[in-house]
Amino acid sequence: MGAAGSKLEKALGDQFPEGERYFGLENFGNTCYCNSVLQALYFCVPFREQLLEYYSNNKNLADADENLLTCLADLFMQDAHEFLNYLLNELVDILEKEASTAKSDQETSSPTEKIANGPTSVHANGVKKEPLVTWVHKNFQGILTNETKCLRCETVTARDETFLDLSLDIEQNSSITSCLKNFSSTETLNAEDKFFCDKCCSLQEAQKRMKIKKPPHILVIHLKRFKYIEQLGRYKKLSYRVVFPLELKLSNTVEDADTEYSLFAVVVHVGSGPNHGHYVSLVKSHNHWLFFDDENVEMIDESAVQTFFGSAQEYSSNTDHGYILFYERVSNGSTS
């Protein structure tokens, strides 16, 4: 591990960023999915800084209860996306429990109802209250709005939901921009899928679409590369070529104002199928792109990122495909 760091230091020479260190993570026999996500999260600068601040503020507390370490067995899902969701939601749970304990003298702690991609606090009488907003939420959480328009009375019903990452369906020779447009495309609800309109008091044909109401500071995009094929009776990896830009303009928002993002990390799945393979990560730090493969770390050219878009043909020797993308919202024209 140290050798990898020193080799990189020699390669960068005077350009090596002051106070920064680059280390690989050892593979303990099928933990590459974990290593790749941890590298991407470490180089998510606001997440890293607040995590270190949390540690600094709590390291002297006499807390005998372990949290993430005691759940190590649950981590072996062997999928980077599942691990990322588990990790973020587990951190949220820890922060919420600590906040609840801190104010237990003022009020009785409320039960927590878990929903996909985020918790919602509920009072004992069933009335919802605003959930605690942790620094994990401030970095990763966005808001989607699900709009349904009745085609008879034209009443629009909107329902908001939070997300920590966006899972996008992919197509061959497509791009993140086109995948996002498909994500927000209009769907017609008819036949057995008719919508119950409260105003009409009956099932009606309707149009439904999903839009981003509040973009997050860190936009995590999960490309759905593993699809269940009924004819095969199993999941198959989609090696489709999906172009992900270094700079992304998010235009499918409620406000219709473009939100600019900069790519800073990519988790890559290496292999031809979902039940076997390997995970590596690409990370941008101090304007340098780095390649992390467990304990091995090396610098790569920015142009090398495009080699992980995917394969233009179904059968290709290239099995290294971008799987999870990490974008940071650009403010004042700068990013890490």
Q: Is 110 exposed, middle or buried (0-12, 13-18, 19+ CB in 10 A)?
A: middle
Active-site hit among 32, 44, 179, 197? 32
Maximum pairwise Cα distance, the chain: 71
Sign of the Cα torsion 298, 303, 304, 306 reads: positive
Active-site hit among 137, 217, 278, 321? 278
Q: What CA–CA distance (Å, rounded) separates 156 from 211?
A: 14
Known catalytic membership, residue 153: no
Q: Report yes or no: 283 and 289 within 8 Å, Cβ to Cβ.
A: yes
Q: Which helix (H) or strand (E) holds 35?
A: helix 32-42
Return all residues near 241 (Cβ < 8 A) that are at least 6 apart.
172, 173, 174, 309, 310, 311, 312
Q: Report yes or no: 95 and 134 within 8 Å, Cβ to Cβ.
A: yes
Measuring CA to CA, which residue among 244, 249, 232 is closest to residue 322?
Answer: 244
Q: What CA–CA distance (Å, rounded) separates 242 from 245?
A: 10
Known catalytic membership, residue 32: yes
The residues annotated as belonging to the active site are 32, 278
